[in-house]
């Protein structure tokens, strides 16, 4: 295990957001471990995605299906395609997070964001925080869990088409 600097962890989070904005979804999937999850809680301070409803709780297989749907010719909700833009605050290394253990190759990074999703004349703004549980896998960072906590997670909202 090589160990990663704070700057490398921060750069990883910025690069991940850029991949999503540029719709390089296959490349983004490669950042995930095989047992990774993407989680958007439905309530503030939600502790467990399996015991409570979530806006999203998808493993790598379901994320792959979502990405294939986005690329499909018969996905009429994506003709024309949605676009997105992440505006990130400076990511913070969460050294007090219980999962964070650099000596084991485990890192936790949290970043506040504003995220805009746009399609045709409709634009939707979301705000929140993403928490990344990252693993050192053979000298490369991989996402074990990406948790996206929206400020208004408990509000009625339109369909979220892309990945935040």
Q: How far is it, in rounded angstroms, from Cα 133 to Cα 38?
A: 11
80 domain residue, yes or no: yes
158 domain residue, yes or no: no
75 domain residue, yes or no: yes
Predicted pLDDT of residue 138: 94
Predicted pLDDT of residue 1: 45
133 domain residue, yes or no: yes
157 domain residue, yes or no: no
Q: Which CATH number goes with the domain that contains 77?
A: 3.10.450.50
37-92, pLDDT tens digit by residue? Answer: 999 999 999 999 999 999 999 999 999 998 888 876 666 666 677 889 999 999 99
Predicted pLDDT of residue 78: 62
Q: How many domains does the chain have?
A: 1
13 domain residue, yes or no: yes
What residues make up the domain containing 66? 6-150
pLDDT over 90 percentage in the chain: 76
81 domain residue, yes or no: yes
């Amino acid at each position: 295990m090589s160990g990663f600097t704070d700057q490398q962890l921060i750069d990883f989070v910025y690069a991940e957001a850029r991949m999503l904005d540029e719709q390089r979804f296959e490349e983004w999937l490669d950042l995930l471990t095989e047992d990774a999850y993407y989680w958007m809680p439905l309530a503030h301070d939600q502790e467990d995605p399996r015991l409570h409803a979530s806006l999203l709780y998808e493993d790598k297989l379901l994320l792959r299906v979502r990405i294939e749907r986005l690329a499909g010719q018969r996905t009429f909700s994506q003709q024309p395609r949605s676009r997105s833009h992440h505006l990130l605050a400076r990511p913070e290394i969460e050294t007090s997070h219980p999962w964070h253990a650099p000596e084991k190759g485990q890192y936790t990074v949290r970043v506040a964001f504003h995220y805009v999703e746009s399609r045709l004349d409709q634009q939707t703004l979301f705000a929140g925080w993403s928490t990344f549980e990252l693993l050192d896998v053979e000298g490369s960072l991989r996402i074990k869990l990406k948790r996206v906590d929206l400020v208004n997670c408990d509000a009625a909202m339109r369909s979220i088409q892309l990945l935040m």
